[in-house]
Amino acid sequence: MTPRACVLWSLVWLSSACASRGHLPSTPPPPAEYGTPHPFLLQAAAPDGRWLLACQAREDTNKDGTIAVRVGSHGQLGGDEARLYLFREPGAGLAVDDVLAVDSLARHIVLVREGALRLLDTVTGTEQVLAPWTADDVGTNASQPPVRASFSRDGQRLLYLKTEAGKKVAVLRDVARGEERVLDAGPGLLGQARLHENGLWAVFDVVAQDTDEDGTLTWPHQQTSLAPARCRGPVSSASQGERKGDSPVRRFLRVDGGTLIEGRDILQPLGDGLLRTLPHGAIAFEDARGNQQTWVPESCRARLYAVDEPRRLLVVGCKTRDPLGTTLELHGPELHLSLEREVSPYAPVRRSSNEERPRLLPTFVLTSKDTERTYAVFILDMERHTLVPPPIPASTWVHAQGSHALLREDPTGDGGERRRPRLWLWNADTGEKRLVGEASGDFQERAGERVLYMGWLMDLGTGQVLGPVTEAPLAIDTRGGALRYTHAAPAWADPKPEKTVPLGPVKWEPAVNPSVKPTSPPGNTSAAPSPSGP
C-alpha cells in the first residue's frame, strides 16, 4: 500500500467514498505542480482531484541547516515542524490549522484557520466563518480526536461544536440556506457530536458524571503510542494502554423535533426511528411515536453485524447450541430468513465501500467442522438475500461496488507454475468472471468507483479494466489521474527506523501509461450461471 497516512480522523474514508452518490463537474487534471520543493506528506485528496490536503515543512525550525522531516514507526514526525496546507489549485496552497469534516461529495470542508472555524465551498471558493475557535489539547494533539463536525450523507446538513459562555454546544446548520440553531445535548460536558448519515438524528457523547472520581468532568482519551492525527505519517506499529478520564453517555435527538433519548439498549438510529435491544435479547424497531415492532425474535439471541438502512434489513448472528456457533440471518419488518450458514463470531460481515445501498458484503462462513473451525469468505448478496460461495477458488475479497466484486486468487502452494496472485472481476447479476491480470505490485488506492489494486486500475461501477499502473502513486482520482512526486520516488522502503519524507512538489499525471503493455492481458472465462441460492 502507498504510504499515505490514514489520518485526520474524519477523512479516513474520504478517498474511497463520495462518487457512488453523485458527481460534481470536474476538468482533466492540470499539468501543474502542487506545493513547494520541501518535504511533502499527503493527508487526503478529493476523489475528483479538485483539492489536496498535505503537510509540509518549509522552514528550518530546528536550526540544523537543512529542511527535512522524518517519520517514526508510530507515525510521529521529527525534524523540522510541518504544518497543514490545503491546495485548491497548483501553487503554494493555503495554510490551515485543522480540518474537521468533509461532505460526501468532497465539496464542503469544515476547517480551522486564523482563529476561526470556517465552512469552505471548494467549488465556488466561498468561505463562511462559523464561530471563533480556541485550540484545545483534546482535539489538537489527540491521536483519535473527538468528532467536532460532521455532515449528513446528502451534504445538506452540518452539525458542529462551538463554545458559548465557556461551554461547548452543538449547532445544526442548513448548508444551502445558512440557517442555524443550537441543539440541546442535555447536562454535562459535551465531548463530541455527529449527525447520523440520514441527517435525521444528532448523536451526542456527554460526560455527565465524574466516573473516575477525580473531582472534575474530563473527556476520556486513550493512552497510546500513536502519533497525533494531524500531520501523521505512515504507521507501522502502535500500542494502546488504558483509557483515562470519565466515561461518557450517548444521547440521541431527532433534529426536526423531539426530546433527548438515552439508554444502553439503543443500538442506533434507523430512518426516523431507533433500533433497540429488548430485555430477553430481541431487537425491535421503535418509531417516532414510541411504538415498537420486533424485527429479530428473542429466540435468536442476536448479535447485530450490519444495518442496511435503505432496505430496512438487519444482518445478525443467531446463537446455536455450540457456545461459539453463530448462524447468519436476515431480519426486517417483513423478512425473517436464515441463511443456514455458520459464520465467524469475530469478523463476520464488513463493508468495503461507502455506498449508501451496498449490494455485496463479505462474510466468513464455516466450511470445515474440525477442531480448528476453518472459515472461508462467502459473498452476501443483499438484493437476492443469498450467500454465494467464492466464484473463484482460493480467492479472497478485495472490494465491491454495486454488482461488481474484485477478488484476488492467491497461489495454491502446490508447486505449480503460477506464482503471482491473479485478480478477477465478478458480476453478481450475470455470474461472469473476468480475469483482470496478474498482480504486479502491492499498492492500492481508491477514488469513488475507481480502484487501483496490485498494479491494476479498474472501474468497479462499470466493471471495466482501465489498464496497468506501473508506479505507485500517492493517490488516484476519478478523472484517470495519478498523483506523484515531481522529482523523485518516495523513499518509504528505507529500512531505517525513521524514514525521510520526500520533497515536493507533486503533480497529477495519467495513471495508466498507454505505452506499457499488460503482463497478463485481461480476458474472460465462460460465464457462470447467475447464483440463485446459498
Q: Would you state the pLDDT for residue 531? A: 32
67 vs 39: CA distance, rounded Å = 8
Q: Would you state the pLDDT for residue 144? A: 86
Q: What is the mean pLDDT of residues 129-157?
A: 85
pLDDT beyond 90 at 23: no
Q: Which helix or strand (DSSP H or E) is residue 103 part of?
A: none
Amino acid in the structure at residue 180:
E
133 vs 137: CA distance, rounded Å = 13
pLDDT band at 487 (very low <50, low <70, confident <90, very high): confident
pLDDT beyond 70 at 488: no
Q: Would you state the pLDDT for residue 82? A: 96
pLDDT beyond 90 at 266: yes
Looking only at the bridges linking them, the beta strands covering 94-96 and 83-87 are: antiparallel
Q: What is the mean pLDDT of residues 455-461?
A: 95
pLDDT beyond 90 at 24: no
Q: What is the mean pLDDT of residues 148-172?
A: 95
Q: Would you state the pLDDT for residue 64? A: 94
Nearest to 408 by CA among 462, 399, 417: 399
- 280: its cell numbers: 430477553
Query: Among 23-32, 104-113, 435-444, which range has the highest average pLDDT?
Result: 104-113
405 vs 357: CA distance, rounded Å = 15
Q: Would you state the pLDDT for residue 383? A: 95
pLDDT beyond 70 at 18: no
Helix (H, G, I), strand (E, B) or coil at 115: coil
Q: Which helix or strand (DSSP H or E) is residue 139 part of?
A: helix 137-140
SS (H, E, C) 261-321: EECCCEEEEECCEEEEECCCCCEEEECCCCCEEEEECHHHCCEEEEEECCCCEEEEEEECC
Q: In terms of pLDDT, which residue wins out, 519 or 125?
A: 125
The answer to whether the peptide bond before residue 411 is cis (omega within 30 degrees of 0) is no
pLDDT beyond 60 at 262: yes
Give the lowest-confidence range in 165-174, 266-275, 435-444. Answer: 435-444
Give the lowest-confidence range in 11-20, 111-120, 297-306, 447-456. Answer: 11-20
- 113: its cell numbers: 484557520
Q: Would you state the pLDDT for residue 454? A: 94
pLDDT band at 12 (very low <50, low <70, confident <90, very high): very low
225 vs 241: CA distance, rounded Å = 9
Q: Would you state the pLDDT for residue 489? A: 53
Contact between 196 and 151 under an 8 Å Cβ cutoff? The reply is no
pLDDT beyond 70 at 519: no
Burial class, 206, CB count within 10 angstroms (exposed 0-12 / middle 13-18 / buried 19+): buried
pLDDT beyond 60 at 8: no
pLDDT beyond 50 at 21: no
153 vs 105: CA distance, rounded Å = 9
Q: In terms of pLDDT, which residue wins out, 376 or 322?
A: 376
pLDDT band at 288 (very low <50, low <70, confident <90, very high): very high
Q: Would you state the pLDDT for residue 415? A: 56
Contact between 173 and 160 under an 8 Å Cβ cutoff? The reply is yes
pLDDT band at 457 (very low <50, low <70, confident <90, very high): very high
- 216: its cell numbers: 472534575
pLDDT beyond 90 at 125: yes
Q: What is the mean pLDDT of residues 45-64?
A: 96
Question: Nearest-5° angle of CA 300, CA 301, CA 306?
Answer: 85
Q: What is the mean pLDDT of residues 460-469?
A: 94
Strand partners, 336: 331
Q: Would you state the pLDDT for residue 411? A: 82
Q: What would the pLDDT profile of 203-249 be if each residue is shown by its tens digit?
A: 999 999 999 999 999 999 888 888 888 899 988 888 888 889 999 99
Q: What would the pLDDT profile of 357-411 be if each residue is shown by its tens digit?
A: 899 999 988 887 667 778 888 999 999 999 999 899 888 899 999 999 999 998 8
54 vs 35: CA distance, rounded Å = 9
Q: What share of the chain in percent tops pLDDT 70?
A: 84
pLDDT beyond 60 at 191: yes
Listing DSSP states for 376-427 in one string gives EEEEEETTTTEEE--SSTTEEEEEEETTEEEEEE---SSS-S--S-EEEEEE
pLDDT beyond 80 at 420: yes
pLDDT beyond 90 at 68: yes
Q: What are phi and psi of 169, to 5 degrees?
A: -130, 160
- Mean pLDDT, the chain, integer: 86
Own/partner contacts of 78-81, CB < 8 Å, gap of 24 or more, are 78/498, 79/39, 80/39, 81/57
Nearest to 426 by CA among 444, 403, 456, 398: 403
Q: In terms of pLDDT, which residue wins out, 519 or 236?
A: 236
Helix (H, G, I), strand (E, B) or coil at 9: helix
Q: Would you state the pLDDT for residue 366? A: 86
pLDDT band at 151 (very low <50, low <70, confident <90, very high): very high
| Number of residues that this document lists for the chain | 534
- 466: its cell numbers: 482501465
Contact between 468 and 518 under an 8 Å Cβ cutoff? The reply is yes
Query: Among 2-11, 28-37, 319-328, 457-466, which range has the highest average pLDDT?
Result: 457-466
pLDDT band at 98 (very low <50, low <70, confident <90, very high): very high
pLDDT beyond 70 at 517: no
Q: What share of the chain in percent tops pLDDT 90?
A: 66
Q: What is the mean pLDDT of residues 8-35?
A: 51
Contact between 164 and 180 under an 8 Å Cβ cutoff? The reply is no
20 vs 106: CA distance, rounded Å = 12
Go through the domains of the chain in sequence order and give each one's CATH number. 29-95+483-515 (no CATH), 122-236+244-264 (2.40.128), 297-385 (no CATH), 390-469 (no CATH)
pLDDT band at 516 (very low <50, low <70, confident <90, very high): low
324 vs 196: CA distance, rounded Å = 32
511 vs 445: CA distance, rounded Å = 11
Contact between 339 and 330 under an 8 Å Cβ cutoff? The reply is yes
